[in-house]
Amino acid sequence: MLLVTGGAGFIGSNLVASLNEAGRTDIVVNDAFGGAGKWRNLGKRQLADVVPPEELISWLDRRKLDAVIHLGAISDTTATDGDLVLATNFRLSLKLLDWCTATRTPFLYASSAATYGDGGQGFDDEWSPAALQRLRPMNLYGFSKHLFDLAIVDRFAKGVKLPPQWAGLKFFNVFGPNEYHKGEMISLVGKRFDEAKAGKTVRLFKSHRDGIGDGEQKRDFIYVDDAVAVVRWLLDTPSVSGIFNVGTGKARSFRDLISAMLRTLGRAPDIEYVNMPPAIRDQYQYFTQAKVENLRKAGYNADFTPLEEGVTRYVTFLNQPDRYR
């Protein structure tokens, strides 16, 4: 039996779908569903159980699991409730780590590219204590993920007992189906698709940094199927532990992303650049690009989906009456 926290969320529901499609139905999802239709992310799936967040720790008592895949988190990069974010993203992660250690259960968890902050220290996923301590996240979400990375690596460095397999995944800019519940945190393709399909001009942020043109802010955009493939590879490769970037290793501009969407819709580039809200300018990342050498050295050799192909696949989903995977 597998436990997937955050299993009704974006990456989590795509992972559940992939596992179901491979024949696994012994999957327990831990998540808060709310009333905004998040359940639809799992509307085509088969599950062994659904555990609400407040019952998770008691539910784990006397359980035996094949692995815990911990993807649940408050992932809003604009979140400001420090107590809630740290309780959810840091302290709960510690409890799950302790449980997996005590029960000898493999533990895979979502870290984030937000731990790299403005990128001033680069995007190298070296996970020695000294390397991690140099990072300066720019928002509360990134800080909470960084704290947990530091905690697990500190245990490793001191020779403290850990699960038989543990792996942190620094996801970069993941996009694809089943992210519709995320509000403002949805990817730009998902956010701008309906207006683009309706023939409207697509708006992007202007650059407020010298030397970077409007729309030339760059991210490492990775299609969700590739993120899921890395998780599944780790599940199948229990000898591999560590912290790994999950990106393509190739930064592309927001202009590239939206132009690919417009081309798929048969439209010419029609982009308007608007001022970035002052509230987010100081914590805005102008460039992210995963170094994926550590993942390759660990043995992961699958190709990553090119940006244009990923956008085309996503637009195909968005064009359907039923947009859910």
Q: Give the model's pLDDT for residue 187.
A: 95
- Burial status of residue 257 (CB atoms within 10 A of its CB: 0-12, 13-18, 19 or more): buried
CA pair distance 15, 24, nearest whole angstrom:
11
Read off the pTM: 0.94
Confidence class of residue 183 from pLDDT cuts 50, 70 and 90?
confident
Express each pLDDT in 46-59 by its tens digit. Answer: 999 999 999 999 99
Question: Catalytic amino acids?
Answer: 141, 182
Could you report how far apart the first and last alpha carbons of the chain are, in Å?
22
Confidence class of residue 266 from pLDDT cuts 50, 70 and 90?
very high
CA pair distance 318, 114, nearest whole angstrom:
27
Cβ count within 10 A of residue 64: 8
CA pair distance 39, 151, nearest whole angstrom:
33
Residue 224 near residue 313 (C-beta atoms within 8 A): no
CA pair distance 314, 211, nearest whole angstrom:
31
User: To which CATH superfamily is domain 2-176+220-249+290-304 assigned?
Assistant: NAD(P)-binding Rossmann-like Domain (3.40.50.720)
Express each pLDDT in 227-256 by its tens digit. Answer: 999 999 999 999 999 999 999 999 999 999
Q: Give the model's pLDDT for residue 281.
A: 83
Taking phi over 0 as left and psi of -120 to 50 as alpha, with beta for the rest, 316 belongs to alpha
Residues with Cβ within 8 Å of residue 264, at least 6 apart in sequence: 311, 312, 315
Instruction: Give me the half-sphere count of Cα atoms (radius 13 Å) on the Cβ side of residue 268.
Output: 0
